[in-house]
Amino acid sequence: MIMIRMRAIVPVICLVFLIAGCETTGSGQKTVIGGLGGAAAGGLLAAAVGGGGTGIAAGTILGGLVGGAIGNRMDAADRQEAQRAATQAFETAPSGHSVAWRNPDNGNSGTITPTRTYQTANGQYCREFQQTVTIGGETQQAFGRACRQPNGSWQIVS
């Protein structure tokens, strides 16, 4: 008789423990009205690290990415590599994360690092960025802003 009762009770006890275990998840979270909620906020934080994925972005860069004397020393292949890296950085890299480029033919290289993302008053996305360019062993650093055009290209605005 006792054995039969135990058979009935044990699964119930197990269930209580399981439910109690589930209930403790997320304790300490305040419920907030008007927020997106802990689940969404946590997921968005993770999304910011993941960026826009690792694929090569297809857009183009409008305007001069690298100016000045060092820009004049870049050849067509350097510019192509730099533009490819810039497009990828603007489309997919979280702020603070660099995308590097390198021309294997001459060893020239550089990095593009978005530093801040914002929207203009008309909803256009812009990203501030920092870049380094190393030509013939000489490295130059520059800052700029690029804004995304409706067709997916990025216009260098400063």
Closest distance of CB 41 from another protein, Å: 4
Size of the site for another protein (CB under 8 A): 52
Give the strands of the sheet with 154-156, arranged side by side. 61-62, 154-156, 138-148, 125-135, 109-119, 99-102
118 binds another protein (CB under 8 A): yes
Closest distance of CB 112 from another protein, Å: 15
95 binds another protein (CB under 8 A): yes
Nearer to another protein, 38 or 71 (CB): 38
CA angle 118, 122, 127 (to 5 degrees): 25
Burial label for 128, CB within 10 Å (0-12, 13-18, 19+), is middle
Nearer to another protein, 79 or 148 (CB): 148
Closest distance of CB 130 from another protein, Å: 13
Q: Are 61 and 156 in contact (CB under 8 A)?
A: yes
Cα 87 to Cα 28: distance, rounded to the nearest angstrom: 42
Read off the tokens for 8: 């009935």
Closest distance of CB 75 from another protein, Å: 32
7 binds another protein (CB under 8 A): yes
Among 84, 98, 125, 153, binds another protein (CB under 8 A): 125
The pair phi, psi for residue 25, each rounded to 5°, is -65, 130
Query: Kind and range of the H or E element at 141?
Result: strand 138-148
Stretch 10-69 residues interacting with another protein (CB under 8 A)? 10-11, 14, 17-18, 21, 25-52
CA nearest neighbour of 110 among 118, 101, 119: 101
Closest distance of CB 88 from another protein, Å: 13
Among 64, 96, 100, 157, binds another protein (CB under 8 A): 96
